[in-house]
Structure 1
C-alpha cells in the first residue's frame, strides 16, 4: 500500500492530520480570520479539512489548497462538495514549496507540512511571499517537550536538532520577523486521541479487509507505529500551532 493511501485510511477518524481537537481548530481559525478577510490558502492541504472548516465558518471567503497528492486533493474536492463549498475552493496538484500566485492571501495555513519546505524556517519564508499585508499565518510544527532519548529519536527517525524546545522554537519564529498573536500547544489528550485514532483506523481497516493483499502489512504497520509512539516519543514530541503576523 502506498504511503498516501495508508495516510488516508489512518486519518479516517481524525481528518485534521495533526494532534488538534476540533475545538482547538475552531479557535485557531477564529483568531486567524479577520472581519475583512476574503481569501485563504493552505500549503500542504492534504484532504482539505482545514479549508473546508474555514469555508463553512466564513461564507464570504474563497480558498485555495496545494498538495502533491492527487488522491488527497480528490478527497478534498469530494468533501467540499458534501459541505456545499466546492464553488469557493480551488485545488492545485503540485509541490507546496513551488507554489506561486499573483494573489496575496489574508490567511495562509501550513499545519504539519513543514517537511514539504525543508523545515519550519523555510515554511515561514514561503508564507511571507504569499501573505497579504496585515494577514495571518497559521503554522503548526513539532518541538521537544523534553530532551529526546535514543528511543524517541529512533522511533521518529529524527535527530536531536530536527526540533528545539518550545521557547527556542518561538524565538526562532520571532527572529524571522513574525509576531505570535495566538498559539496552541497540543495537550497530552489531543496527542493520545490523534495516535489512537491513527493506529486504530488502520487496524480496523486491516481487520475488516483481511482478504485484501495489503491487509497484513497494514496491520503490522499500525502495530509498529503504536509501539513506536508508546515506547518512544509519547510525552517527548510536542506540537505547537501559532497564529502569526508580520512584525513591524
Structure 2
C-alpha cells in the first residue's frame, strides 16, 4: 500500500484531513466567506472536501481545486456529482505549483498541505500568486506546543520542522501577512482526528482489505498510533489561520 492510498482510506470518516471538528470547519469558512459569492481555490485539494463544505449553502460561491493525485481528484469529482455540486466545483489533476489560471481568487485554501510546497512561507507565496486584491488565505500548519523531546523526534520529526505558535505567527507577519482570525486545534480535536485516522484504517484492514493489504493496513495503523501516543501527542499543535496581505497587492 502506498502512502496516498493509506491516507485516503484513513481520512474517510473525518470531516477534513486535519485535526478540526465539524463546527471548527464551519466557523472558519463562515469567516472566510462572508459574502457568499466568492471565488475559491484549494491548492492540494485531494478529494475537494474543503471545497464541498465551502459551497454548501452558498450557491453563489464558485470553487476550483488542484491536486497531483489523479485517484483523489477522481473520487472528489464523483462526490461532487453525487452531492449535486458539480456545477459549482471544478477539480483538476496537476501540480499546484504550476497552476496558472486566467483569473484570481477571493479565498485560497491550503490546510494541512504546506509540506507539498516546502513549508509554510513557500505555501503562502504560492497562494499569493492567485489572490485577488483584498482576498484572504486560509492556511493550516503545525507548530510545537512544547519543545519536542526524544520520543517526538523518534516518531519521525525534526526539531526544526516547526516553530512555536508565537514564532510561527511572527514569521507570517514578517512575510507581509496579517492574521484576521485563527483557530488552535484542541486536544479533543487532535484525539478525535487520530483515533479516526487509525481506527478507520484498521477497520478497513479487518473488514475489507484484500489479501496481503490487510496486514499492511493494520501495520500502518499501529505504527501511526504508536507515533502519536508515544511520540507527539500534546507536543505537536495545529493552527488554522485566516490571513490578509498587510499591504494590498494590485494587479
Is this contact kept in 2: 1:12–1:201, CA < 8 A? yes
| Matching residue of 2:81 | 81
C-alpha spacing 1:210/1:105, structure 2 compared with 1 (3 Å): closer
1:126 CA drift (Å): 0.7
Q: Tell me: CA distance 1:120–1:182, structure 2 relative to 1, closer, same or farther (3 Å).
A: same
SS at 1:196's partner residue?
A: helix
Q: Which residue of 1 aligns with 2:226?
A: 227
Contact (CA 8 Å) 1:37, 1:107: kept in 2 or not?
A: no
Further displaced range: 164-173 or 12-21: 12-21
Which residue number corresponds to residue 102 of structure 1?
Answer: 102
Q: Structure 1 stretch 25-34 or stretch 165-174: which is displaced more?
A: 25-34
CA distance in 1, matches of 2:2, 2:175: 36
TM-score if structure 1 supplies the norm length?
Answer: 0.97
The Cα RMSD (Å) is: 1.2
Kept in 2: contact 1:33–1:136 (CA 8 A): no
TM-score (norm 2): 0.95
CA deviation digits over 1:179-230, x for unaligned, max 9?
Answer: 1000000000000000000000011011113652211111011011101100
For structure 1, which runs of at least 5 residues remain unmatched after alignment? none
Matches within 5 A, 1:80-229: 80-155=80-155, 157-209=156-208, 211-229=210-228
- State which drifts further: 222-231 or 35-44: 35-44
Structure 2 portions without partners, runs of 5+: none
Instruction: Indicate if the aligned counterparts of 1:37 and 1:106 stay in contact, CA closer than 8 A.
Output: no
SS at match of 1:162: coil
More helix by share: 1
> What does residue 30 of structure 2 align with?
30
SS at match of 2:47: coil
Q: Which runs of 4+ in 1 moved over 6 A?
A: none
Q: Which moved more, 1:130-139 or 1:34-43?
A: 34-43
* Cα distance in 1 between the residues matched to 2:193 and 2:57: 23
SS of equivalent to 2:46: coil
Report how far residue 57 of structure 1 moved: 2.8
Contact 1:19–1:190 (Cα < 8 Å) also in 2: yes
Q: How many residues align?
A: 247
> After the TM superposition, which of the residue ranges 87-96 and 208-217 deviates more from structure 2?
208-217
1:53 aligns with 2:53: yes
Q: Does 1:6 align with 2:10?
A: no
- Match of 2:122, SS state, is helix
Structural mapping, 1:64-75, within 5 Å: 64-75=64-75
After superposition, what is the alpha-carbon deviation per residue over 1:104-127, rounded to whole angstroms, capped at 9, x for unaligned? 100100000001100001011111
Cα-to-partner distance string for 1:144-189 (whole Å, 9 max, x where unaligned): 000001110121x221111000000000001111110000000000
How far apart in 1 are the matches of 2:236 and 2:209?
A: 33
